Amino acid sequence: MGEIKEQWSKGKDAGTIVSNVSHYKHEMPDKVEYYGGHLIAESIPARYVSLIIRSPSMLALLEKALPIIQVEANVRDNALSHKGANDQNIYWSEMRELANEISTEIDRARGKGE
**Segment 5-48, tens digit of pLDDT:** 899 999 999 999 999 999 888 889 999 999 999 999 999 999 99
Q: In this structure, are 32 and 52 located in the same domain?
A: no
Confidence of residue 81 (pLDDT cuts 50, 70, 90): low
Count of the separate structural domains present in the chain: 2
Q: In this structure, are 73 and 105 located in the same domain?
A: yes
The whole-angstrom separation of Cα 99 and Cα 15 is 31
Q: In this structure, are 59 and 106 located in the same domain?
A: yes
Per the structure, the complete domain to which residue 32 belongs is given by 1-44
Q: In this structure, are 24 and 75 located in the same domain?
A: no
Q: In this structure, are 112 and 82 located in the same domain?
A: yes
Q: Smallest Cα–Cα separation from 5: which of 25, 22, 21? A: 21
Total-model pTM? 0.65
pLDDT at 48: 94
82 pLDDT higher than 70: no
Q: In this structure, are 58 and 108 located in the same domain?
A: yes
Which of the pair, 68 or 82, is modelled with greater confidence?
68
Q: In this structure, are 54 and 38 located in the same domain?
A: no
75 torsion bin: left (phi>0), alpha (psi -120 to 50), beta (else): alpha
DSSP assignment of 67-88, as one string?
HHHHHHHHHHHH-GGGS-HHHH
∠27-31-37 over CA atoms, to 5°? 90
Q: In this structure, are 37 and 62 located in the same domain?
A: no
Q: In this structure, are 57 and 86 located in the same domain?
A: yes
Q: Smallest Cα–Cα separation from 17: which of 52, 55, 56? A: 52
